[in-house]
Amino acid sequence: MTAHGEGVRDDGPRDADETAAQPRPAEGITVPEPQDRARSIPEAAVARLAVYLRVLSGLAEQEVHTVSSEELASAAGVNSAKLRKDLSYIGSYGTRGVGYEVAVLIGQIERTLGLTQQHRVAVIGIGNLGHALANYGGFPNRGFPVAALFDLDPDLMGVPVGGIPVDHVDDIPRVCAERDITIGAIATPAKGAQDVCDRLVQAGVRCVLNFAPVVLQVPEEVEVRKVDLAVEMQILSFHVARRSQEPQESGDPGDGVDGTPQSKTRDVNAGADPVDGMVVRS
Element (H, E) at 133: helix 128-135
Specify whether the CB–CB gap between 86 and 45 falls below 8 A. yes
149 backbone dihedrals φ, ψ, rounded to 5°: -130, 140
Does 129 show up as a binding residue in the annotation? yes
Q: Is 94 annotated as a binding residue?
A: no
CA nearest to 116, candidates 53, 27, 52, 186: 53
Q: Could you tell me how far CA 49 lies from the centroid of its own chain? A: 7
107: CB partners within 8 A, 6+ apart: 5
Does 126 belong to an annotated binding site?
Answer: yes
CA-based nearest residue to 16, from 101, 82, 96, 103 = 96
- Whether residue 128 is annotated as binding a ligand: the answer is yes
CA–CA distance, 133 with 130 (Å, rounded to integer): 5
User: Which residues belong to the annotated binding site?
Assistant: 125-130
User: Which residues belong to the annotated binding site for NAD(+)?
Assistant: 125-130
